[in-house]
Amino acid sequence: MQRIAIVNMKGGVGKTTTAIHVAAGLALGGLQTLLVDADPQGNIGHAFGIRRPRTLRDLMLGDAALDEVIVRGVREKLDVIPSTPAAFGLDAQLAGAPQRETILARRLRPLSSYDAVVIDSSPAMNLLTYNALLFANDLIVPVGMDGMAIVGARQTLNGVRDIRDLWPERRLDLLAVLPIGVNATNATRAAFDALDDDPEMRGRLYRPGIRQCIDVTYALTQRQTIWEYAPRSRAAEDYAAFVRFVVHGSAGDRTVVAADDEKTQALV
Ligand SMILES: Nc1ncnc2c1ncn2[C@@H]1O[C@H](COP(=O)(O)OP(=O)(O)O)[C@@H](O)[C@H]1O
Ligand SMILES: [Mg+2]
């Protein structure tokens, strides 16, 4: 089972968009996938139009079983554990809990029917983010293409280094630094230069990135993925290529565009 966390200490860089499309893309490619929202803002629930009484918070507190919090069949082969702002209180509520950083990993341990679990996270090193990092084996760090891109990504990787120091036996690898909103401006060029100057990020930089594409914003407000809303858009093409990279570990052939009725074939 592949365990992927989407992290960046900066907000608005494309974490949720990427979590949704990596999870939905893996599911379209035939992998049984679980998408976990570890951000109390609950954007994933909004994006899929899910409202449930039982959420990640209840799972974390031991008030609900795994089966009760999983929303099944959000799309074919795609299940979701949603979150709501009630989870903002978790840091305080679990302050005295033993081994509280590994609660999520322990609660999700019975999962065996999934090929992949993708976790979205909030822009803070809070308890849920620690829990996401201590469940995951692979990290995707989306970065916005502006002057601050490097800052949030660097802070994130420093936090990951702390976790590796504290739990040296765990495998936690940087799978990709993913540029979001790539365009032909100087800002994009400067952001690429800054990422290239960072010795840790340079080698994991997914260079094509995801081009700037307003359709992703429209798609999520329509509760659709980009492949459903605008299958011929730049973002549909770019996220399909990135999902192939996640599956195969290389950028591969970027010429295949996810066509409406051939999504599965186009993706993997
Ligand atoms: N490739 C893109 N092109 C244009 N806008 C994008 C792109 N990816 C994401 N966005 C927009 O950027 C905003 C922040 O994205 P989001 O995924 O919510 O970031 P985060 O989860 O890191 O806060 C959203 O309005 C989203 O629609
Ligand atoms: Mg988000």
Question: What would the pLDDT profile of 29-52 be if each residue is shown by its tens digit?
Answer: 999 999 999 999 999 999 999 999
Give the residue, by CA position, lying nearest to ligand 1 atom 23: 12
Q: What would the two tokens of residue 40 be?
A: 């109390």
Residue 265 pLDDT exceeds 60: no
Of all residues in the chain, what percent carry a pLDDT higher than 70? 93
Whether residue 268 is predicted with pLDDT greater than 50 in this model: the reply is: no
Choose among 39, 19, 2, 6: nearest CA to 152. 6
Q: Probe ligand 1: pick from 216, 222, 242, max atoms within 8 Å of CB?
A: 216
Q: What is the mean pLDDT of the chain?
A: 92
| Model confidence band, residue 259 (pLDDT cutoffs 50, 70, 90) | very low
- Residue 262 pLDDT > 70, yes or no? no
Token pair for 98: 């033993």
pLDDT in tens, 212-248: 999 999 999 999 999 999 999 999 999 999 999 999 8
Share of the chain above pLDDT 90, in %: 90
Residue in the structure block whose two tokens are 């209840």: 58
Cβ pair 266, 259 in contact under 8 A: yes
Residue 25 clears pLDDT 50, i.e. is over it: yes
Q: E strands of 33-144, at which residues?
A: 33-38, 71-75, 78-81, 116-121, 138-144
Instruction: Specify the DSSP class assigned to residue 232.
Output: T
CA of 12 to the centre of ligand 1 (A): 6
CATH 3.30.465.10 fits 2-202, yes or no: no
User: Which whole number is the average pLDDT over 60-85?
Assistant: 97
Closest atom of ligand 1 relative to the 234 alpha carbon: 1
Which is the closest atom of ligand 1 to the Cα of 18? 17
Output the CA 251–ligand 2 centroid distance in Å.
25
Q: In whole angstroms, what is the distance from residue 208 CA to residue 122 CA?
A: 25
> Which atom of ligand 1 lies nearest, measured to the CA of 12?
23
For 259, the 3-state DSSP assignment is: coil
pLDDT one-digit tens code per residue, 89-129: 999 999 999 999 999 999 999 998 999 999 999 999 999 99
pLDDT tens digits, 138-153: 999 999 998 787 899 9
Instruction: Please report where in the chains the tokens 């994009």 appear, as a residue.
Output: 188
In which element (H, E) is residue 17 found?
helix 15-28
**Cβ–Cβ under 8 Å, residues 225 and 219:** yes
CA separation for the pair 246, 268 (Å, rounded): 10
Which atom of ligand 1 is least distant from the CA of 8? 22
Whether residue 253 is predicted with pLDDT greater than 80 in this model: the reply is no
Q: Pick left, alpha or beta for residue 220 (phi over 0 → left; psi -120 to 50 → alpha; otherwise beta).
A: alpha
Residue 245 has what pLDDT?
Answer: 97
Percentages (nearest 5) of helix, strand, coil residues in the chain: 45, 15, 35
- Separation of CA 97 and ligand 1 centre (Å): 34
Ligand 1 surroundings by CB, under 6 angstroms:
11-17, 180-181, 210, 212-214, 216-217, 220, 235
Q: Nearest Cα to 87, choosing from 50, 55, 109?
A: 55
